[in-house]
A = this chain, B = another copy of it.
Amino acid sequence: MSDKTLEKKDRVVVRFAGDSGDGMQLVGSRFTDETAVAGNDLATLPDFPAEIRAPAGTPHGVSAFQIHFASRDILTPGDHPNVLVAMNPAALITQVGSLERGGTVIVNEDGFTDHNLKKAGYESNPLEDDSLEDFQLFRVPMTSMTVRATEDIEGITARDAARCKNLFALGLVSWMYGRPTDPTINWVEKKFADKPPVRDANLAAFRAGYNFGETAELLAVHYEVEPAPAPPGTYRNVNGTQSLAMGLIAASVKSGLQLFYASYPITPASELLHTLSRNKRFGVRTIQAEDELAAANMALGAAFGGQLAVTATSGPGMDLKAETIGLAVAMELPMVIIDVQRAGPSTGMPTKTEAADLLMALYGRHGESPLPVVASRTPGQCFDAAIEAVRLAVKYRTPVILLSDTFLANSSEPWRLPDVSKLPDIDPGFATDPSGFEPYKRDRNLARPWAIPGTPGLRHRIGGLEKEDVTGNISYEPENHEHMTRLRAERIALIAGDVPELEVDDPDGADLLVLGWGSSYGAIQGAARRTRRENGVNVAVAHLSHLHPLPSNIGEVLRSYDRVLVPEMNMGQLVKVLRSEFLVDCESYTKVDGLPIFTRDVMDEILRRVDT
């Protein structure tokens, strides 16, 4: 029993940072598990270095992991950490800037050698000079203590031992926040079952860190973060990539359509390819195509063949798929194109987030080629977004663009598992009856028949040339082109009647509406709650999942507020659409720095617009 003071906290943001080789991502995910078991709500965000494996100790080689956990439900990985664990000078110099004033800095003292200080670009040692005076600094010789803690273990060299210092850090922080230790201990035992020395070294390091917290004078306080009340159910931690993949697989199971996923690697979309390629057992076929044009065409070919065709990429790859998406529009075949947006223009900042591909998704093809655009809002909701994209594609025989982004792809949060048996079925409704079959004859949704090769008597030919209504034969008739162009637009517009109305959360009749789309969801919701609670502000919030067509009631909603604020991770793309559709003077808050929108950002924008 420690004699230290125990303080209650209702939310904490911890950031672990070290060299790419220091295993910070592992520490992060272990701490996340402990926290999940502790029953807190949480959100995490890994922050990988842009370079594959930058020279050790350099600033661009720093790898970090941030976790936000609380005794009530939270929505983002947090704006500014309260605690920074820095394993070396590079980690400190690159991360300390985002730390809250007065925050806690825990450094691995052993990492602060002159050599490392120089590599990080420090003139003088920040642990000695006053550069950290705004923070609470704790210097812990993690490496040496880890080495000492493991020296009696057979078959472990000092070098191996030093490698375990990340578990020392984990142990220390676990103690600080009263995390359960079993999850980590069990994990280590499973993971290194066949390498006893390594197992023991890691366990020793973990315990050493934990005990150091308990015993050393250094840390006088530790904290308690009570479990967060959460709706009953089974939970797991997922990032947007995992849940998007599971959503696609679920759609495949519920539609009976085999999933065909063709893609060309690109950060951050590649992870989706990696994840799906492991799911052979669901009949998922993944193909790494020679380029994005091929990937899109392969998917379109598979769609014609009767499979659930999906292709995914990020910004630059979307440019290359444009022509093929246009062909899919003309062929009216079901297909899902996923754009995991990243910071542009051009190659831009491949590992940073942004949501600046909206207008491209809407208009980035020559000619009039309308299609539905859906966007996911949280890591867990990517699952639903994927299913919705598939539903629309299949029902309306159209390519659908699904927008995600780097932040959603990498960030994780507890996800309440849906009851899969309750997921709606998706009916491919393949055409089979030759009598009266016409390739471009439409059902009441204006959707044409999906007649796949091999079906007796339904032989037909489709292509990108304008087609005669009903027969689908090539036609250059002016009236027909006019008719078909409007028909293609009408078919997509009809979907507005088939998507949920925009729900507004407006407990106390606000004058200001904050409307968002995509991954700004957490920040916007959080900002609304906090400004209501902390500043007694009246503010309404709503979030769009369907960017095209827009929900049928949105015009009404927009007009019913004095002011509408639209925060976006671009230069105001949704605002352009809303203003033009509804002539409502929506206001933009734009952020294009490659980072997600912070709750604080939105709070400030709200407060600027309401008199409290």
Contacts and interface: CB of A to CB of B under 8 A. Distances in A.
Interface of A: 50, 314-316, 318-320, 322-323, 326-327, 329-330, 339, 341, 343-349, 351-352, 354, 356-357, 359-360, 362-369, 463-466, 476, 478-479, 481-482, 485-486, 488-489, 570-571, 575-577, 579-581, 583-585, 591-595
Contact of A347 (B318, B330, B368, B595): B330
Given A320-B323, A327-B346, A344-B367, 11 more contacts: A315-B367, A316-B323, A316-B366, A326-B344, A329-B346, A330-B347, A343-B367, A345-B369, A356-B368, A479-B593, A481-B594
A357 B347 contact: no
Interface hub of A349, A579, A591 (most chain B Cβ within 10 A):
A349
A570 B368 contact: yes
Nearest to A318: B366
11 contacts: A315-B366, A316-B366, A329-B346, A330-B345, A330-B347, A339-B366, A344-B369, A345-B366, A357-B366, A368-B571, A486-B571
A121 to B, nearest CB: 14
A472 to B, nearest CB: 14
Nearest to A489: B571
Given A329-B345, A481-B593, A579-B579, A367 B356 contact: yes
Q: How many copies of this chain does the complex contain? A: 2
A555 to B, nearest CB: 13
A364 B348 CA distance: 16
Contacts of A349: 465-466, 476, 481
Contacts of A354: 367
A489 B320 CA distance: 23
Given A478-B593, A478-B594, A485 B571 contact: yes
A365 B348 contact: no
A319 B323 contact: yes
Contact of A364 (B360, B485, B488, B594): B360
A463 B344 CA distance: 12
Contacts of A344: 326, 366-369
A340 B583 CA distance: 32
A347 B481 contact: no
A314 B367 CA distance: 10
Contacts of A571: 368, 485-486, 489
A466 B339 CA distance: 20
A592 B580 CA distance: 21
Nearest to A583: B583
A570 B368 CA distance: 7
Contact of A346 (B314, B348, B367, B570): B367
Contacts of A478: 352, 593-595
A479 to B, nearest CB: 6
Q: Which 5 A-B pairs have CB atoms at the shortest separation, nearest pair first? A: A344-B367, A315-B366, A346-B464, A580-B580, A347-B464
B346 A369 contact: yes
A480 to B, nearest CB: 8
